[in-house]
Amino acid sequence: MAEIEHFCDPKDKNHPKFENVRDTEMLLYSACNQMDGKPAEKVTIGDAVDKGLVANETLGYYMARIQRFMVRCGVDPPRLRFRQHMANEMAHYACDCWDAECLTSYGWIECVGCADRSAYDLTQHTGATGVRLAAEKKLAEPQVVDVTEATPNKGLLGKTFRKEAKTITDALANLEVGSVEDLEKKLDANGSYDLVLGENKYTLTKDMVTVKKYQKTIHVEEIIPSVIEPSFGVGRIMYAIFEHNFKQRDNDEQRTYLSLPATVAPLKCSVLPLSSNPEFAPFIKQISADLTRVDVSHKVDDSSGSIGRRYARTDEIAIPYGITIDFDTLKEPNSVTLRERDSMGQVRIPVEEIASVVHNLSYSKQSWSDIESKYPKFEQQESKAFHI
């Protein structure tokens, strides 16, 4: 499980980067549609926030970013939806909560939860520790406010309660206005006030604490932030990615491949000499070194067997690109073929350019269509090569 904790102003949950994702189309399965037996609907996250379907911009921003992350990792977009928690499953402290669900052979499974947990987390920490966890927000203009606070007589509290005096002092400082007013009433009526902290009760008298009321000018506002919490089930996401990307060749059901995006594939490229010809060795060494220099993880497969069978092996372990060194590589100008796993398309690229091309493909700086439009296509009957 991996989580993000994003704290924000409870009175202003707009997000400065929301406009960057406003037009993101998402499949949303609202609580109302679930109750009415209606299907999920495709809407932009901007419209969903504007209509109040999604509670606020910050929650919507993270939902859009979750979708972008999932799709870039390999989740199939038509098999991804966001389901809103219904009233009977919503946490009592949550303002809104949506689960990113993936459709698998097990049905729709929750992979990511994205919740607006309001100020519950910091409030609970404050209650448990006695330490007020608040943030300060600078005001546009100074404000004059009324202050009501409990002022302890630290000397007398120290003599009376010894080591526990600091705990009492901190608790008095963290009392809300209503609690301070209640303290004042009981001191006036009874001459004492029982301060309850957990299982302990401390009886305070008028000479131990007084209530002061005054006005002051403030330049900052103290707030207890709300938290937006995306929570990722990494194992479930990985399973969905594997299932969504396990495929078969149209012309041969026995040939399977794992169509992981290059960004998440452990190995980005294979280097495949056509044969064990010793003249290929310098090119294998050069290309491998060039790939390492530009941070492209790769595997050299110089084992025996046809090139088609070796392509099939690399396809099964999700390697997206294959560099083939053949007899044309030995001729001037030296070039190799670059094969793309999913389409099995191949192009011819100069040896000195191949590393940078694979790097750009692996890190989404260029697309395969960009490469096909720039370099000459290489035609080969791969099905025949597989059976040699």
Ordered DSSP codes for 355-387: HHHHHHHHTTSS-HHHHHHHS-B----HHHHHH
Rounded distance, CA 362 to CA 322, Å? 12
For residue 381, pLDDT beyond 60: no
* Residues of the chain above pLDDT 90, percent: 68
**135-223 architecture in CATH?**
2-Layer Sandwich (3.30)
Contact call for residues 314 and 324 (beta carbons, < 8 A): no
SS3 state at 175: coil
Instruction: For 186-222, write each residue's pLDDT tens digit.
Output: 989 888 999 988 888 999 998 999 999 888 888 888 8
Q: Which CATH number fits domain 258-387: 3.20.20.70, 3.40.50.800, 3.10.450.50, 3.90.1150.10?
A: 3.40.50.800
pLDDT digits (tens, 9 = 90+) for 269-326: 999 999 999 999 999 999 999 999 999 999 999 998 899 999 999 999 999 999 999 9
With 0-12 CB in 10 A as exposed, 13-18 as middle and 19+ as buried, what is 294?
middle
pLDDT band at 387; cut points 50, 70, 90 = very low
**Three-state SS letters, 283-311:** HHHHHHHHHHHCCCCEEECCCCCCHHHHH
Residue 384 has pLDDT above 50, yes or no: no
pLDDT of residue 388: 36
Confidence of residue 68 (pLDDT cuts 50, 70, 90): very high
Which of 336, 324, 320, 334 is closest to 368 using CA atoms?
A: 320
The mean pLDDT value for 44-57 works out to 97
The per-residue pLDDT for 66 is 98
Q: What angle do CA 328, 331, 333 make, to 5 degrees?
A: 105
Which of 8-12, 123-127, 331-335 is least confident? 123-127
Query: Of all residues in the chain, what percent carry a pLDDT higher than 70?
Result: 98
Compute CA 355 distance to the chain's CA centroid, rounded to the nearest angstrom.
30
Confidence class for position 132, pLDDT limits 50, 70, 90? confident
pLDDT tens, residue by residue, 233-260: 999 999 999 999 999 998 887 899 999 9
Eight-state DSSP code of residue 164? G
What's the gap between Cα 197 and its chain centre? 39
pLDDT of residue 126: 76
DSSP string, 208-249: TEEEEEEEEEEEEEEE--EEEEEEE-HHHHHHHHHHHHEEEE
Higher pLDDT, 355 or 220: 355
Q: Does the pLDDT of residue 153 top 50, yes or no?
A: yes
Q: Report the pLDDT value the prediction gives residue 15, as an integer from 0 to 100.
A: 97
For residues 97 and 91, the answer to whether their CB atoms sit within 8 Å is yes
- In sequence order, the β-bridge partners of residue 98 are 84, 114
Residues 278-288: pLDDT tens digits? 999 999 999 99
Return all residues near 322 (Cβ < 8 A) that are at least 6 apart.
Answer: 269, 270, 272, 311, 314, 338, 339, 341
The domain limits of the chain are 2-120+227-232, 135-223, 258-387
Mean pLDDT over 122-129 rounds to 78
| Mean pLDDT score, 328-354 | 96
Tell me which of 3.30.530.20, 3.40.50.12280, 3.30.930.10, 3.10.450.50 is the CATH number of domain 2-120+227-232. Answer: 3.30.930.10
Mean pLDDT of 83-96: 89
* Predicted pLDDT at 87: 87
Q: Is 70 exposed, middle or buried (0-12, 13-18, 19+ CB in 10 A)?
A: buried
pTM: 0.78
For residues 277 and 329, give the distance between their C-alpha atoms in angstroms, rounded to a whole number: 12
pLDDT bracket for residue 382 (50, 70, 90)? low
Q: Sign of torsion, CA 385 326 311 260?
A: negative
